[in-house]
Amino acid sequence: MTTLLVVAKEPRPGRVKTRLTPPFTPREAAALAEAALADTLEVVARTPARRRVLVLDGEPGPWLPSGFEVLRQCPGGLDERLAAAFAHCTGPSLLIGMDTPQVTPELLAVDFADCDAYFGPAEDGGFWALGLAEPDPALLLGVPMSTSRTGAVQRARLAGLRVRDLPPLRDVDTARDAELVASASPGGRFAAELKRLTAAAR
């Protein structure tokens, strides 16, 4: 079975989802981040896995369900932190972030029987998922993160491997992203929190 990794920041005001401010306050942006993280972890908890690991910058909170190991993120750039997350794994592993609360167990239930890697592109040019049958941190080191070409560079790093592409998903970065993601997954905590905050602003 697969190890599922979630890379996340503790949802504290001023430290997460800063591109949501404005129109949201730092506290509201953190509430949306917490809802997105809670949705993501709940989906991971429902997905069959060998291990479930939260790779966290910060401290765990009441949003963390049981059944997860918690690893501290290492210092350094995002490429170094993602590489370090894979360094803690042996065997098939799939890494995602906290920015796609619309993810489903069906998307995460990957099978490495006839492939070496999975790649999930994000609509902003990044990637929302990376799976490796044999985790190799070197495949991530040096990839420029948070740019419009991050996904293309990371996908090119997988050249020579048998890769399956997952459907593209939208990361929650801006208020418009939040609206579109909430509409794609209207039954989740994220959608409910966005609806609550939007109603309170009227």
DSSP letter string, 60-104: --TTPPTT-EEEEPPSS-HHHHHHHHHHT--SSEEEE-SS-TT--
| Residue 200 confidence (pLDDT) | 80
Please give the CATH superfamily to which domain 3-201 belongs.
Answer: Spore Coat Polysaccharide Biosynthesis Protein SpsA; Chain A (3.90.550.10)
Mean pLDDT of 21-30: 97
Q: Cα-Cα-Cα-Cα dihedral of 11, 68, 102, 169, to 10°?
A: 90
Mean pLDDT of 129-157: 97
Decide if pLDDT at 201 tops 80: no
Q: Which of 110, 130, 140, 128 is CA-nearest to residue 168?
A: 128
Delimit the domains of the chain by residue range: 3-201
Decide if pLDDT at 47 tops 70: yes
| Residue 202 confidence (pLDDT) | 65
pLDDT tens figures, 150-161:
999 999 999 999
pTM, to two decimals: 0.96
| Residue 100 confidence (pLDDT) | 98
Structure tokens given for 100 = 């796609």
pLDDT tens figures, 89-118:
999 999 999 999 999 999 999 999 999 999
Confidence of residue 135 (pLDDT cuts 50, 70, 90): very high
